[in-house]
Chain A
Amino acid sequence: MVVYRDQPSLPAPASQTSIAGWLRKNLFSSVTNSVVTLALLYFLVPQIWHAIEWGLLKSDWFGDNRSQCVSGGACWVFITNRLNLFIYGFYPSSAYWRVNWVYVLTAVQVVALLYPKTPHKTILSVIFFVVYPFVVFFLLHGGAFGLPVVETNKWGGLMLTLLLGIVGTIAALPLGIVLALGRRSEMPIIRALSVVFIEFWRAVPLITVLFMASVMLPLFLSGQVNMDKLLRAMIGIILFESAYVAEVIRGGLQAIPKGQYEAAKALGLNYWKSMGLIIMPQALKLTIPSLVNTFIELFKDTSLVTIIGLFDLLSVAKAGLSDPAWLGFSTEAYTFVALVFWVFCFGMSRYSMYLEKLLHTGHKR
């Protein structure tokens, strides 16, 4: 008699699951693949090792002057020594606490707004878009509540970079919404004006816009209006950015099915109510990831204010290099600034991907 007995199930073949299996599947699946892998390893490993050795293993971190840099690698002393300049610009050190408060407020607001499960988001965003700008202005500029005035030419570094980016976004959003609605309006003249405005700003480089703001704007205003250099740059950035925001939102508006417009009409809602209550919330929700991407682009582009002489993060690095006590540390300076920008931009792009996944569930079955 033959007795069938259950055999314990065998483990998956080693060639599929082990490290060797993974290597074979992903790195050496064919002759070409093996050659590519080996060639890449040959070229990349020494480079990466060199970078680690330069930046971490053989680097110097703290000290007062360049003579402390003896290890032969990166001289981060240059950065740590000027860290305050990078963070606050020329802001008077006795008033650093004001900038710190702005940093904290901004961080709390942004995190609260970006986290999907925060309660009372509507109130929060109203605060962010209406109250927060005034608080920040009075904190940074002073002139009220007994705070001494700090002129805008002392603002700089990371603070200025973030300020330009955030102000650009906050102010460009409503303007962009209006322009997008104008572009899709049924009134021919309004539509034409919006199209011309949007296409004009999108066709010219930001740097010419900044030049225009710094050179031409004073000519256009009457003598009594004396506009601050930073304010002029901000106006340029906002106008430029609003055109991009408008195009993103137009895409969102186009993605809303016609039935939604018709349903809003059937309910007897007028234009503004149907836009404000039905269409715009859906369009904005659809476009959040693209808006975040536009913001990333803007954030990178704020570095261009270096060229018209504002003292942003990149300018701080550049100015440091012309200091005779610190000649020849351009690689360290630019690497550091690149790292700061990279952390912000990469973080935001990951967030936008995460949002895309989160919002996508609505269309999944």
Chain B
Amino acid sequence: MPAENSKKSNNAVATRWIYDPKVRGILFQVLAVACVAWMLFYFVSNAMHNMESRGIATGFSFLQHRASFGIVQTLISYSEDDTYGRAFVIGLLNTLLVSGIGIILATVLGFLIGIARLSNNWLLSRAAAVYIEIFRNIPLLLQIFFWYFCVLRALPGPRQSIDIANAFFLNVRGLYIPAPIAEPGFGIVAIAFVIAIVGVFFLSQWAKKRKNLTGQPFPVFFSSLGLLVGLPLVVFLIAGMPLHWELPALKGFNFRGGLTVIPELFSMVVALTIFTAASIAEIVRSGIMAVSKGQVEASHALGLKNGLTLRFVVIPQAMRVIIPPLTSQYLNLIKNSSLATAVGYPDLVSVFMGSTLNQTGQAVEIIAMTMAVYLTISIVTSVLMNIYNAKKALVER
């Protein structure tokens, strides 16, 4: 029965076709692309329709319109007459400012506490553990509220400010610190500083080369420090000290002069630092503990003292374990700085997704721009840290 035979083989061909993993793979992918495309089409067409019916403008021309809202803290000049575009830049700079300060302080505090956690002093290591467990397990937003509403609001008014060395003043309106004011001639000092940086770069190259060739160590750190501080200092003195500090002083009802750290920034920095430092401390601890004890013993057996063991054996190996999770903590900190909007610190989210969105109603453009900024920051940070990581990673043969 040839007819039946051919039918059978046809069936077999059909089933073979459906079980072929390659064909299946293509089928799945086509299906996935179709699904995503359909969803995008659905969203976009709905958005177009909805925006049209609600009379919301589209496009990015709103960036050139007058913003007409004030911002408490600006790093570059800004007034209500400036555009939404400039407000966006102000918000971005404020976000970078708070994350930059936060990252530096959290790293320092985190390393200190991580090391304290490993101390052989029982009390110190317990205190570090309690610190970590308390601040890691409380939501960051709550901590920000606590610092802003409980601690800073409870500070005295300007007249009864907490006074540190007659130069730093802390009161309910913020922290007032001396501002450096450059006089003509300060440029030479800056140039000297740049020359010192270049010098340090060549010095470390030379020292590395010499160490590789002869095995002679050269005190790179202290000589670099000397160069970095000494050269500008000498130039500074020769140029006749062209810099003075402007101290904040109480005039009338408030302080004038100096730099003002507004309470919003202050509480954000404190909360971000304390919260992130707890996670960094754990990362540092696990990194140091990941270095096997045998390494330390071997280094002692070679006659290296504790300090040298730490510098040449423990820390370089611990850093390999520390850097990748540290990178994600930095990224978390930058993302968490967006909580500033909750206390009214004018960061990107609060200026752009808050005030600008409320005034223009252009949700799609504004949210897309804000998310694009965070995406870019995340990608740049992780690329930089990956380069650093690749440099430090163990080279296996």
Contact = CB atoms under 8 A, between A and B. Distances in A.
Interface stretch (B136-144, B191-199, B259-267): B136-144
Interface in A270-300: 296, 300
A82 to B, nearest CB: 17
A222 interface: yes
Given A207-B341, A303-B142, A306-B342, A193 B32 contact: yes
Nearest to A332: B150
Interface stretch (B79-87, B120-128, B249-257): B120-128
Interface string A314-345: 10001001000000001100100110011001
B72 to A, nearest CB: 18
B50 A223 contact: yes
Interface of A is mostly: helix
B353 A208 contact: yes
A345 B138 contact: yes
Contacts of A346: 133, 137
A117 B143 CA distance: 38
Contacts of B371: 204, 208, 212
A338 B142 contact: yes
B149 to A, nearest CB: 5
Contacts of B245: none
A333 B152 CA distance: 16
B363 interface: yes
Given A200-B375, A219-B47, A318 B137 contact: no
Interface stretch (A147-155, A182-190, A226-234): A182-190
Interface in B362-384: 363-364, 367, 370-371, 374-375, 378-379
B28 A37 contact: no
Interface in B14-55: 25, 28-29, 32-33, 36, 42-43, 46-47, 49-51, 53
Prevailing SS type, chain B contact patch: helix
B186 interface: no
B141 A220 contact: no
Contacts of A190: 28-29, 32
A236 to B, nearest CB: 12
B335 interface: yes
Interface in B344-358: 349, 353, 357
Interface string A341-365: 1100110010000000000000000
A255 interface: no
A346 to B, nearest CB: 5
B324 to A, nearest CB: 12
Q: Which of A188, A200, A304 has the most CB of B within 10 A?
A: A304
Query: Contact residue range for chain A?
Result: 35 or more
A26 interface: yes
Given A203-B378, A219-B50, A220-B46, A33 B120 contact: yes
Interface string A14-53: 0000000000001101000100110011001000000000
A206 B349 CA distance: 11
A81 B338 CA distance: 33
A337 B138 CA distance: 9
Contact of B120 (A29, A204, A330): A29
A341 B36 contact: no
Contact of B124 (A36, A202, A220, A342): A36
A133 B1 CA distance: 58
Contacts of A26: 120-123
B134 interface: yes
B110 to A, nearest CB: 17
Nearest to A211: B353
Range for the number of chain B residues in contact with chain A? 35 or more
B367 A189 contact: no
A345 B139 CA distance: 9
A221 interface: yes
A131 interface: no
A341 B138 contact: yes
A222 to B, nearest CB: 5
A307 interface: yes
A330 B349 contact: no
B153 interface: yes
Given A205-B338, A334-B142, A186 B25 contact: yes
A203 B374 contact: yes
Contacts of B134: 342
A215 interface: yes
Nearest to B379: A203
A334 B150 contact: yes
Contacts of A306: 141, 342
A174 B330 CA distance: 29
B141 A189 contact: no
B206 interface: no
B179 interface: no
B141 A215 contact: no
Contacts of A218: 50
B367 A215 contact: yes
B312 interface: no
A221 B42 CA distance: 8
Contact of A307 (B42, B143, B335, B341): B341
Shortest Cβ-Cβ A-B pairs, 9 listed: A26-B122, A345-B137, A203-B378, A205-B335, A300-B139, A205-B338, A189-B29, A303-B139, A220-B43
21 contacts: A27-B121, A33-B121, A36-B119, A40-B124, A203-B335, A205-B349, A208-B370, A211-B353, A212-B367, A218-B50, A219-B46, A219-B364, A220-B43, A222-B49, A223-B50, A307-B341, A314-B141, A330-B150, A331-B150, A345-B137, A345-B138
Interface of A: 26-27, 29, 33, 36-37, 40-41, 44, 186-190, 193, 200, 202-208, 211-212, 215-216, 218-223, 296, 300-301, 303-304, 306-307, 314, 318, 321, 330-331, 334, 337-338, 341-342, 345-346, 349
Given A204-B375, A222-B49, 10 more contacts: A41-B123, A188-B29, A203-B378, A204-B335, A205-B339, A215-B357, A222-B46, A331-B150, A334-B142, A334-B149
